[in-house]
Structure 1
Amino acid sequence: MPGMRDIANMWRNVREIDLRPIRESALQPVKLALVGATGAGRHTLANQMRHDPSRPQTQTQTPVLITDLASPGKATSADLIVIVVDATSTTTSQEQALAEKWMDTGKRVMVFVNKIDLAAEGQVMDDWQNWQVDRMVYGSALDPASLLSQFVPAVMDLLPDQHLALGRQFPLFRIAIARELINETCFSNAAYAFSTGLAEVVPALDIPLNIADMVVLSKAQAFLVYKLGLSLGLSTRWQDYVTEFGSVVGSGFLWRQLARQLVGLIPVWGIVPKVGVSYAGTYVVGHTILQWYLTGRHITGKQMRELYAHAFENGKAF
């Protein structure tokens, strides 16, 4: 039967698990090709992908294959081919022919219609609605908000198994990928808590989880911390996360804080509060890492309380 020592030694337990596949996945090069005519915005788009709008000082030098319409063969080795089209262009027959050719050979092809703010009204639907590609996205390479709302989700959908590497190598995708990782782990932990039935109160912490639950959930949180760090471009050494976040993950600290913050929110012990606590604990851990990436500081006590309350309500809804 697991005990409190198992929680205190959580990082040691994680260390014994082979983290190499996760690390190698994050370090695997993501090959993106931007193909288009001169002036379509290929270089602008490539530059935007290497920056994080949330941290303007963050920039990578990740190589992107940028080629013109005269040398399309260079793009065939890419994981994803992005055809960049100028929305103001009078003809796109060459780009459409390339798209059809690549689609016929099984390549993943996306079209980014750039400079959409400059296009004539009605031009978009008339010119591009019949293209047969994996995804058609409209926006402006000069507008980070446009890229985050349209371009980023589309690329993530087309590269579902490369998110850690995509975020690590291209900062534009980092926040979206981090939030996805946090949400997935929150729901996974909440589902686990729900599947294990009614809660048992841990006397030492006064929360509706048993020790076995806490070991499983804390281990999942530790993996989340490592994956977040990799996708956000932080250290590949798991030991560095022990130093920075060991007091939050893999100790009774988080669970005690949860108990204090959730007093009055839990009417009776049972499945609902157990799921809420599981969800909230994971949510707070994930956002602790995200906050540290964005600001270089840990979240404050007030921010933690707000996160707990918000996350617990989401967990109950689950």
Structure 2
Amino acid sequence: MPKWNDLSVAFNTLREIDVAAIRTEAERPLTIVCVGAVGVCQEIATRLERGTQRYGPIGPSPIQLASLATIISDELRSVDLIIIGLERTTRLSARELTTIDQLAALALPTVVVVWGTALPADAGPLHPRVAHARLLVVPDPMAPDVDEQLASAILDRLPAELHLAAARRLPGLRATVARQLINNVSFTNASYVLATALPAQIPIFNVPFAAADILVLTKNQAILVYRLALAYGAPPDIRERLREVLPVIGGAFIWRQLARSLVGLIPIWGVAPKVAIAYAGTYTTGMAAWRWFTEGEIIDQARLKELGREALALGRARAADLIAQARRTGAVQVDRWQRWGEALRSRFRRKEK
């Protein structure tokens, strides 16, 4: 278990985080309107509203159902997302097609869901009236990945600044938002380590980064955990949330655990292993916090090591990608400087003549 001074370090880290801004983001108002076939819209709403609610529901659903035949498009100018639900057995009337044209003219984030049918292989692109929309075709509504496809399509069109609020209000979006948060922050920490070129010497059984760098990485982890808590409907008191997941983020605890668990797996310390551990440490922290906020599960030491090894494999792959990208960028910059230098030399040669 972490010691009390671990908790103090974590609290000191969090003092520098703008918790109020994150809370405001999570509590932003949200309006999603689903128009079209009644049965399809009801099914979409049900799938988005169901899911893990360990902390209870967070207010009324932000989803409003409406009919294409009766809705007035001008009343939707302030909504955050429009979902158009269509089914294969229903032919749209002229009035409904006109409404879709009017909705398209609003240029709002839109998802078109075609329910219960597959498009023919030679189907062309979306009709120009909804060309800006994300199209989701659901041939088999009973397929196990439909909920994930629906969540991904909605988040693809919903503005990023509303993802946290949407997950907090709609349990059906939470798993997808959690995965995005964990992957994004893990990538951010790995990129930070690569950019700062940390020292090569890493003492065994110690935090594998310089103090200033571990502070940045730990703050990013703390923000990740707090965002996961809010996404899963937890009360916004940051201190209470920190106490809940102290074994995960307390005083950079996860970094020490990973250093102890993984130091023997990497024979030569260099930039790539550090980038991999930065990714793995953040990923493991996020996954552990995710399980806690979802099911109240605290990962034991054996599972933590197993998860750490899985995360390290992902981290190595991300490290290789980042380093390769950095090398390509560096090569481009070197070539640019070489061409600039050659042009400068040519200019001086002409002046000498």
Question: TM-score range, shorter-chain basis?
Answer: 0.7 to 0.9
- Does 1:135 find its partner at 2:140? no
Summarize the Cα distance change of 1:140–1:64 in structure 2 as closer, same or farther, 3 Å threshold.
farther
Between the aligned residues of both structures, percent identity stands at: 32
Cα distance in 1, alignment partners of residues 31 and 143 from structure 2:
21
Aligned 1:105-184 pairs, distance under 5 A: 105-116=106-117, 122=120, 125=123, 129-130=126-127, 132-133=129-130, 134-139=133-138, 143=142, 145-159=144-158, 160-184=160-184
- Does 1:209 find its partner at 2:209? yes
Name the SS of the counterpart of 1:162 in structure 2: helix
Write out per-residue CA displacement over residues 209-243 of structure 1, whole angstroms, 9 at most, x where no aligned residue: 11121111011100101011111111211011221
The alpha-carbon deviation at position 29 of structure 1 amounts to 1.9
Cα distance in 1, alignment partners of residues 146 and 161 from structure 2:
21
| 2:284 equivalent in structure 1 | 284
What RMSD, in angstroms, separates the aligned Cα atoms of the two structures? 2.9
Which amino acid in the other structure matches residue 284 of structure 1? T
Larger fraction in helix: 2
Which amino acid in the other structure matches residue 89 of structure 1? T
| 2:224 equivalent in structure 1 | 224
Q: Higher mean Cα deviation, 60-69 or 89-98?
A: 89-98
The alpha-carbon deviation at position 144 of structure 1 amounts to 7.2
Cα distance in 1, alignment partners of residues 90 and 128 from structure 2:
16
Cα distance in 2, alignment partners of residues 273 and 67 from structure 1:
53
Summarize the Cα distance change of 1:71–1:305 in structure 2 as closer, same or farther, 3 Å threshold.
same
Summarize the Cα distance change of 1:136–1:253 in structure 2 as closer, same or farther, 3 Å threshold.
closer
Write out per-residue CA displacement over residues 38-97 of structure 1, whole angstroms, 9 at most, x where no aligned residue: x44222221221112x67997664142111123222444321111111222133554433
Task: Check whether the contact 1:200–1:208 (CA below 8 A) recurs between aligned residues.
Answer: no
Cα distance in 2, alignment partners of residues 198 and 274 from structure 1:
8
Segments of structure 2 that go 5 or more residues without pairing to the other structure are 319-353
Cα distance in 1, alignment partners of residues 248 and 54 from structure 2:
28
Task: Check whether the contact 1:201–1:209 (CA below 8 A) recurs between aligned residues.
Answer: no
Segments of structure 1 that go 5 or more residues without pairing to the other structure are none
Task: Check whether the contact 1:29–1:165 (CA below 8 A) recurs between aligned residues.
Answer: yes
Name the SS of the counterpart of 2:214 in structure 1: helix
Cα distance in 2, alignment partners of residues 71 and 201 from structure 1:
69
Cα distance in 2, alignment partners of residues 226 and 11 from structure 1:
13
Which amino acid in the other structure matches residue 35 of structure 2? V
Summarize the Cα distance change of 1:175–1:58 in structure 2 as closer, same or farther, 3 Å threshold.
farther
Cα distance in 1, alignment partners of residues 260 and 116 from structure 2:
52
Which amino acid in the other structure matches residue 130 of structure 1? H
Task: Check whether the contact 1:139–1:146 (CA below 8 A) recurs between aligned residues.
Answer: no
Write out per-residue CA displacement over residues 172-205 of structure 1, whole angstroms, 9 at most, x where no aligned residue: 1100000100000000000001111143545473
| 1:240 equivalent in structure 2 | 240
| 2:271 equivalent in structure 1 | 271
TM-score (norm 1): 0.86
Cα distance in 1, alignment partners of residues 44 and 139 from structure 2:
9
Which amino acid in the other structure matches residue 268 of structure 1? I
Write out per-residue CA displacement over residues 254-284 of structure 1, whole angstroms, 9 at most, x where no aligned residue: 2221122113211112111111111111011
| 2:81 equivalent in structure 1 | 80
| 2:326 equivalent in structure 1 | none
The alpha-carbon deviation at position 253 of structure 1 amounts to 2.7
Task: Check whether the contact 1:32–1:79 (CA below 8 A) recurs between aligned residues.
Answer: yes
Which amino acid in the other structure matches residue 100 of structure 1? D
The alpha-carbon deviation at position 12 of structure 1 amounts to 2.5
Write out per-residue CA displacement over residues 98-118 of structure 1, whole angstroms, 9 at most, x where no aligned residue: 2222222322222111222xx
Task: Check whether the contact 2:169–2:233 (CA below 8 A) recurs between aligned residues.
Answer: yes
Q: Which has the larger radius of gyration?
A: 2
Summarize the Cα distance change of 1:42–1:216 in structure 2 as closer, same or farther, 3 Å threshold.
same
| 1:103 equivalent in structure 2 | 104
Task: Check whether the contact 1:207–1:259 (CA below 8 A) recurs between aligned residues.
Answer: yes
The number of residue pairs the alignment matches comes to: 308
Write out per-residue CA displacement over residues 138-165 of structure 1, whole angstroms, 9 at most, x where no aligned residue: 1279547343342211110111221100
Cα distance in 2, alignment partners of residues 177 and 287 from structure 1:
13
Summarize the Cα distance change of 1:59–1:24 in structure 2 as closer, same or farther, 3 Å threshold.
closer
Summarize the Cα distance change of 1:64–1:170 in structure 2 as closer, same or farther, 3 Å threshold.
same
